[in-house]
A = this chain, B = another copy of it.
Amino acid sequence: MNLHALYHRSQSNYCYCYDEEKVHIRLRSAKNDLDQVILIYGDKYDWEKKQKIIMELIGSDGLFDYFAAIVKPDKKRLAYFFEVVKGKEKLYYTEWGISKEIDRKELHMHYFQYPYMHRTDMQVVPQWAKDAVFYQIFPERFNNGDPSISPANTRDWCEKPEAANFFGGDLKGIMSKISYLEQLGINAVYLTPIFEAPTNHKYDTTDYYKIDPHFGDLKVFKELVSKCHEKGIKVVLDAVFNHSGFFFAPFQDVIKNGEESPYYEWFNIHKWPLKMDPPSYDTFAFSPYMPKLNTQNPEVKNYLLCVARYWIKEADIDGWRLDVCDEVDHEFWRSFKKTVKEAKPDAFIIGEMWLNSLPWLLGDQFDTVMNYPLTRNCLQYFAYNQISDKQFKESITKIQMNHMQQVNEVMFNLLDSHDTPRFLTLAGGNRSKLKLAAAFQMTYIGTPCIYYGTEVGMEGLQDPDCRRPMEWNEENWDLDLYSYYKGLIHLRRNHEALREGSFRWIDTYDGIIGYIRETEKERILVFINNHEKGQEIDIGCNTVINALSGDLLQGCEGKLSIKMDKYSVQILIVKQ
């Protein structure tokens, strides 16, 4: 038995409350090593009534197998350990380590424990986020609805974006496209920053309480949110709290008054007088125009929490996406979560993270994070054909195992964003690749987000190129892609199994990845052929409906053969 591989830790992604009734337990072992894992569990104050359950092998990555079980502790207290079996070898894995026997008198030194299930400590995510299909808008580039407020130097809509140029996109522009969004089928938008700031991206806030005048004003924004809500569309804003802009009044006050400024401690000034090159104060990266806010200072903390509350209370927004959130202290985010959920209990909090996000996703800080690891896997698998079917499945499994199930259910799954090249461009413009990736995104577990224009085939390399003005000339649209996206979005929105169903790989077919999404009410099979070669697969004698075409497919004599063209997907609703 590979003892080095065995891993479990309570109160982590390996053991957590899924809800007020259920505790999810996972165990990691070396791949293909164990024959069986038995979970022995009970109440430590009443161990005689302990129970046993065989854990299920729910997935594997390159190195490890993952076993899982769900238990419902009677008195909210859970003590447990594992019996791991390989051939004739049987060992116990406890908090104390691995052993052949456990001395009954010493049980209290061996249990793993979820000592008590408290709602206050649980990771509870908003229900609506599970049902959401997001659309990310970079407001300066989406639509110009009010040329009268466009910057003086506004470029023509069809010019090329540069790091510092402007195109005049604004809130009225978004407002006038709500019907477009509605038709596309999305039901949530995430807007990159909209508060006053000198740049086109507005990640250098001048005034957290003011809509950028080139975008509109409070009245227009409130109208936008209200119109979105009328159409069932939630609105999430971008919170840039790691740093302010250079022209943020408190920073300007420091520039003016130096150590006398009441805002001197709002930043981390190394040395007075200020120097900009290199900056003599903490900044985002090394940018002198983005002084880092001292969120450890209670005044700053309070200021930013008021901002967070204000936009919920004043404009009724539905959540915040948190910029550079890993460089802000956890203590700040804990208070942030409390403030935000108090203002709106089902507000959605999305962290901008690129990798390890577990420390922020244990119940006290974020609801979810941007799933860039998934982005990368989709690129490697669909866009580059760089990894095998098996490797893709393994990586996806690994990402799942990194988080609690309720987090996976609202993982912010994206193929591209304002911070990455566009997927289609990285796929060499190959539409079939994007379509496969989109089909995966829309049928996979988690909350999908479409970066504006992806649905009509917009391209773009790394920033600034990925921030081109939205293509509104339908003649330039890839209509096939557009209707494909529309179909996928509607499919997801109409099928509970795709939004909230369990996820399980189907390992039956070579060269085809397959998975099942399932709730008590429905069962959907997804098959993806990410290869040059078509093939037929037999999915057994079910009656299924092709979810995108609506065709009824009927098996006969125990066989139902499904044709998988090269680079194609089949989404099949099982008739029960």
Contacts and interface: CB of A to CB of B under 8 A. Distances in A.
Nearest to A334: B334
Interface in A1-49: 2-5, 7, 9-12, 30, 45-46
Given A30-B4, A97-B62, A355-B95, A329 B111 contact: no
Interface stretch (A112-120, A215-223, A509-517, A538-546): A112-120
B46 A354 contact: no
Contacts of A372: 109
A390 interface: no
A209 interface: no
Interface in A324-374: 326-332, 334, 354-356, 358-359, 363-364, 372-373
Interface string A461-497: 0000000000000000000000000000000000000
A52 interface: no
Contacts of A120: 296, 329-332
A355 B116 contact: no
A4 B63 contact: yes
Contacts of A373: 96, 109
A308 to B, nearest CB: 18
Contacts of A110: 355
Contact of A9 (B295, B356, B364): B356
Contacts of A118: 295-296, 329-331
Copies in the complex: 2
Contacts of A12: 359
B329 A46 contact: no
A82 to B, nearest CB: 14
A164 interface: no
A34 to B, nearest CB: 13
Please tell me the size bucket of the interface on A.
35 or more
Given A296-B120, A329-B120, A354 B77 contact: no
Given A285-B45, A296-B120, A109 B376 contact: yes
A523 to B, nearest CB: 33
A355 B96 contact: yes
A282 B7 CA distance: 32
A63 B356 contact: no
A4 B282 CA distance: 39
A286 interface: yes
A356 B4 contact: no
6 contacts: A12-B359, A108-B354, A109-B373, A113-B355, A331-B364, A334-B334
Interface of A: 2-5, 7, 9-12, 30, 45-46, 62-64, 75-77, 95-98, 106, 108-113, 115-116, 118-121, 282, 285-286, 295-296, 326-332, 334, 354-356, 358-359, 363-364, 372-373, 376, 398
By Cβ-Cβ distance, the 3 closest A-B pairs, closest first, are A118-B329, A4-B5, A115-B326
